Chains A and B, each alone.
Chain A
Amino acid sequence: MSWEPVIGLEVHVHLKTRTKMFCRCPVGFGAAANTQTCPVCLAFPGALPVVNRIAVEWTLKLGLALGCEVAEHAVFSRKNYFYFDNPKGYQISQYDLPFCTNGKVLVPTADGDSVVGIVRAHLEEDAAKTVHIGGRTGRIRGADYSLVDFNRGGTPLVEIVTAPDIGSAEEAKRFLQILRQTITELGISDAEMEKGTLRVDANVSVRPTGSKELRTRTELKNMNSFTFVARGIDAEIARQIALWESGGTVRQETYDFDATTGTLTPHRAKEEADDYRYFPEPDLVPVEPPAELVERLRSELPELPSARIRRLEAELDLERATVLVTGGLDRLWGDAVAAGTEKIAAANVIANNVVGAGLDAAAVSAKELARLVEARERLPRAAFDEAISKLAEPGFSADPYLAQEALSDENQLAPIVARVLEASPGQVEAYRNGKEGLLGFFVGQVMKETQGNANPRVVSELLRAKLK
């Protein structure tokens, strides 16, 4: 029996507005506990919310970028539940009339574009932060008491819900990379999972391949990188398949995925489903986005990542195009190629070396980068690496580096090559027996002996000749 996964994602995006969603307390990290609070976000008696206009505008922008329809009449609703991080006893969110619905994101894959439907994107406020004291891991289990800091409470969040259109953990990862790139290019959020400005929950189920049924799904939470999301999804898919195949049934549960151990831990089962008793927020009036605003926002959208990947794919390949676009590197690439350098080489250098050096792509001089890419085979490795590391400095010129030449004299290199091969007879034998990947090892050894100054291409040719 073969199975196919059915995956949907819920993504929370922390908007980087200056103030909170329903009050004008500043939003920012690192402030001392409870020093960015006011009667509204502390839910003092009589306090009332007032909408942050920019948060609304950014939500509309994001919805449009995700291909959504913008509501003509949107309403905030109360989601009622008790928890320490929820001071009003309800969260102001959206329910039946959200800002954005019915969008889609194209995830380019080798077999064509995969369409991931966006069911809705709505605006809400974030909860406060709680620290649990006395337990083993600082988590709630076994804690003696808890301490609450309301600084984060009230931060604007956009919640994006996808349709269960994602067919694999890998696709989920690609989708998230494209989503993240879209969000950061709009300038509305830093969208970093490690910092908590992007949070992802996955809804996972499986079904027999080709069927259209939707079986019970589980929810995965608390994963803090795209890689961990993918791993968590894979682990859950495996667990569910094993369960179905052994005659068991999947129950609707929530799991935390621990990436270090690869284990899925279920949350304690609830006795009954939550009843949030949603109703329209009476302290806020509806929002009817003016048509001119929506059109202006639509016209200001940049060319979106999915489209750019497809465009670049024609000139490179899907893999490289995806890496460049989702890394925000494609503009630099385009400029470098325009400055006169070979496409694939430029892509490789940018994706590997520029990224490896941790450079800010926007600060890199495309022209100087192009010159380095062109010369990369004849430059000593050390010189090349150093030049790359300084590429983002203002006024950088490749001139001093281009003057250097890698050691290419075969007469000088041949004895070194011979010495290296003599010192590693085992690897030589392995290479001759088919492990051709070991060439890199030998090149590395020669580079070590020449302090990185040898011309790697010449070295490779010499080695190949000697190893025949």
Chain B
Amino acid sequence: MAISREEVLRVAKLAQLALTEDEIEQLTDELGKILDAVSVVAELELADVPPTSHPLDLVNVWDEDVPRASLPLEDVLANAPQAENGLFRVPTWRQ
């Protein structure tokens, strides 16, 4: 089942990917083929089957509310592409 170009653009927007024209074409083709292959899951009638989110059956895993040391500021910013006065600097949101 093919995927339309519009769908590809919609998904790219949700995923924050600025695709080039070549990429859009290629992905439209590839995703169509992959979706074809994975859609076979729809063959199965699974209305009464519960979904699995975790293959290991654990519940109630948590930590006590006791503070642990935070990272020193130089570690926090060690890999920052742009920092200013201890804050991460980014271009602003386009209105």
- Residues of A at the B interface (CB closer than 8 Å) are 17-19, 23-26, 32-39, 42, 50-56, 75, 80, 82-84, 131-132, 134, 140-141, 143-150, 268, 275, 277, 280, 282, 284-288, 290
Contacts and interface: CB of A to CB of B under 8 A. Distances in A.
B92 A145 contact: yes
Interface stretch (B19-27, B32-40, B58-66): B58-66
Give chain A's interface secondary structure class. Answer: loop
A134 B92 CA distance: 10
Contacts of B61: 50-51, 284-285
Nearest to A75: B53
B67 A25 contact: yes
A286 B90 contact: no
Given A18-B66, A35-B76, A38-B71, 7 more contacts: A19-B68, A34-B86, A34-B87, A53-B63, A146-B90, A148-B89, A286-B54
Interface string B25-50: 00000000000000000000000000
Contact of A287 (B59, B66, B91): B59
Contacts of B64: 53-54
Given A37-B76, A146-B89, A82 B16 contact: yes
B63 A51 contact: yes
7 residue pairs, one from A and one from B, having the closest CB atoms: A147-B87, A54-B65, A24-B68, A51-B62, A53-B62, A280-B53, A26-B67
Given A35-B70, A84-B90, A280-B53, A285 B76 contact: no
Nearest to A17: B65
A143 B95 CA distance: 10
Contacts of A268: 95
A42 to B, nearest CB: 6
7 contacts: A23-B68, A37-B76, A38-B70, A134-B92, A149-B86, A149-B87, A286-B59
A429 B64 CA distance: 72
Contact of A19 (B14, B65, B76, B86): B65
Contacts of B59: 285-288
Contacts of B71: 37-39, 42
B54 to A, nearest CB: 6
Contact of B67 (A24, A42, A149): A24
Contacts of B73: 32, 34-35
A147 B85 contact: yes
Nearest to B56: A285
A38 B72 CA distance: 9
A131 B87 contact: yes
A131 B92 CA distance: 10
A141 B85 CA distance: 22
Given A34-B73, A140-B95, A275 B66 contact: no
B77 to A, nearest CB: 7
Contact of A55 (B65, B85, B90): B65
Contacts of B87: 33-34, 131, 147-149
B14 A145 contact: no
Contacts of A149: 86-87
Contacts of A17: 65
A33 B16 contact: no
A141 B16 CA distance: 21
A275 B67 contact: no
A50 B62 CA distance: 6
A245 B93 CA distance: 37
A24 B66 contact: yes
B7 interface: no
A253 to B, nearest CB: 16
Nearest to A51: B62
A50 B68 CA distance: 13
Nearest to B16: A82
Contacts of B86: 32-35, 149
A148 to B, nearest CB: 4
Contacts of A282: 53-54
Contacts of A147: 84-85, 87-90
Contacts of B60: 285, 287-288, 290
A288 B85 CA distance: 44
Contacts of A51: 61-63
Nearest to A56: B62
A34 B76 contact: yes
B62 A36 contact: no
A42 B71 CA distance: 10
B66 A19 contact: yes
A132 B92 CA distance: 7
A42 B76 contact: yes
A159 B73 CA distance: 31
A154 B77 CA distance: 18
A167 to B, nearest CB: 36
Given A268-B95, A275-B14, A52 B62 contact: yes
B46 to A, nearest CB: 17
